[in-house]
Structure 1
């Protein structure tokens, strides 16, 4: 029976016979179908690694052999690393850096999780651990061994859990009918946007919008038609406020709020004109007496970057007052003004 005494530093593996004995014993000891084992002896056989049957199976290596070329077939140390790089170059680079740190004695253990794109195209995930068993008098590694296990199922499950969390978090932030940000999330995001405007000295604007005669739509065409109108208007708003820094959501009922970061006063004026022109393309409301098309009234407050004392509540209140003026002046219009803070 092969003895474990060969792992004692006082009994180094320094002959080919000792190495073969160590490999045979380790392959027998690590005879598990789902745990890969490997070792490299940098003095006796530096260009090859030894492994068990499980590792052969994991990486599609020749099952009749337990000694393989590092350059051609080692998943983490040879050209096989290109299959890691195909999925994530940063991880592939980290594999080499961490492995080198182990060899140089800067780390006691190597422990990495990496994706691996198999030649047939499937992506699998592995955890690889290694440690140096022997070093020479100069501290250079002579014998290193490692374990490798497939964790594809665990990684995919974790990825799905993260995706589900993001999905449900996203749903909690949205208005159920329109798909826009809901009241709470909308105000939180606008507050952050206002803070960013102050931090970067950029203009900021608030758009307070209200659908005209919405109660009449519900009364004359029915609530189902009213819901359709809200969804159509929400799609219009999403398409209009489509810049990366634009935020738009539903305050409640037929009231909506949007904020923009960056456009100067002249640009917001031009946006206002485009908004009113494009509103004519919003689907006609059926089942109504008059008017036969959807209109909106709104107030827009533009804040100069120097007006750092304006709060979001103040800006929204001022926009709401402009909305009231638009209603008083006959509806179907937007009124734009500078912030007063």
Structure 2
């Protein structure tokens, strides 16, 4: 026996008051927009509790758009209009302005209504308050980004690690080749670092690595200049749009800063302070050149510096030879 047959009057499916009461008792905010005039023909009373704006103030889609965060407005309005014109159901997340001047995250779920001839007649939907969900998502994304950034940092020195260095080198190499701009790389090795550790212990050795890393970072002053720990006591500077002369100037600036820091190293045969051996390479990449060969040039220059007098800069030339600059 149906409810109607049981003497309850007309059936639920024929009772608009029942549906109205049901819609207005939920937390979701129902609404209806006439497609031809783009005006609201209905919006649930819950809107006043959520956003504070009186129901009577929701007249057209312009009121809806104007009460949207400026950063979301263009994206959401264009998307919703495009989907509506296609006659496609859709949903969109955005920040809605409250009457008190704050913003609440809203999810609008939109359905298309058609008349008997199949023409678009209206849009109906629900607004959901998703502020708490968004807070969780934003915090989760922040933590994910933080973890990702940490995975690209050397945990000891705080500069970029080898993983990040490989990605930056690949990107800058491709960009230098595309723009036909010089790319320089400087490889550094701390002279007699094992003896420093033997004299002062690994704790002081770690402090020394951190200090050298910061000095090198400070010497690379432009936004795209990039410092990384290559491994052990080796560091690298990547210098986009930098020719050999400018790269050598940066290397000498690094030596200057390290000399001023005067990190005591009595066991060094070169000086009674921490010093560096340095290899510099510069390339104007052609399509026949390889990044691997470029890195080999810098590595060979560094090797010559370490096998020679140390505490010096070796600049790799295009013919494979090196020019040594002593630094005392």
The answer to whether residue 259 in structure 2 is matched with residue 280 in structure 1 is: yes
The residue number in structure 1 matching 2:20 is 27
Distance in 2, Cα, partners of 1:196 & 1:274: 26
Deviation per CA, 1:172-198: give whole Å up to 9, x if none.
222110122222332333133222222
The residue number in structure 2 matching 1:93 is 74
Distance in 2, Cα, partners of 1:198 & 1:218: 41
Distance in 2, Cα, partners of 1:294 & 1:98: 60
Pick the aligned partner of 1:59 from 39, 51, 62. 51
Contact 2:35 2:120 in 1 (8 A): no
1:35 Cα deviation from its structure 2 partner: 0.7
Pick the aligned partner of 1:232 from 211, 216, 224. 211
Contact 2:226 2:237 in 1 (8 A): yes
Q: CA 1:53 to 1:272, structure 2 compared with 1: closer, same or farther past 3 Å?
A: same
Q: CA 1:162 to 1:299, structure 2 compared with 1: closer, same or farther past 3 Å?
A: same
The residue number in structure 1 matching 2:63 is 79
Distance in 1, Cα, partners of 2:163 & 2:46: 54
Q: CA 1:133 to 1:258, structure 2 compared with 1: closer, same or farther past 3 Å?
A: same
| Superposed counterparts of 1:169-188, under 5 Å | 169-188=148-167
1:5 Cα deviation from its structure 2 partner: 7.2
The answer to whether residue 25 in structure 2 is matched with residue 37 in structure 1 is: no
Pick the aligned partner of 2:239 from 240, 244, 260. 260
How many pairs were matched up? 310
Structure 2 spans left out of the alignment, 5+ residues: 1-8, 321-328
Contact 1:248 1:256 in 2 (8 A): yes
Q: CA 1:69 to 1:121, structure 2 compared with 1: closer, same or farther past 3 Å?
A: closer
Structure 1 spans left out of the alignment, 5+ residues: 7-20
| Superposed counterparts of 1:80-229, under 5 Å | 81-86=65-70, 88=71, 91-101=72-82, 105-133=85-113, 135=115, 139=119, 141=121, 143-229=122-208
Secondary structure of 1:84's aligned partner: coil
Distance in 1, Cα, partners of 2:219 & 2:141: 31
Q: CA 1:286 to 1:337, structure 2 compared with 1: closer, same or farther past 3 Å?
A: closer
Q: CA 1:339 to 1:192, structure 2 compared with 1: closer, same or farther past 3 Å?
A: farther
**Please, what TM-score do these two structures have when normalized by structure 2?**
0.80
1:250 Cα deviation from its structure 2 partner: 1.2
1:36 Cα deviation from its structure 2 partner: 0.7
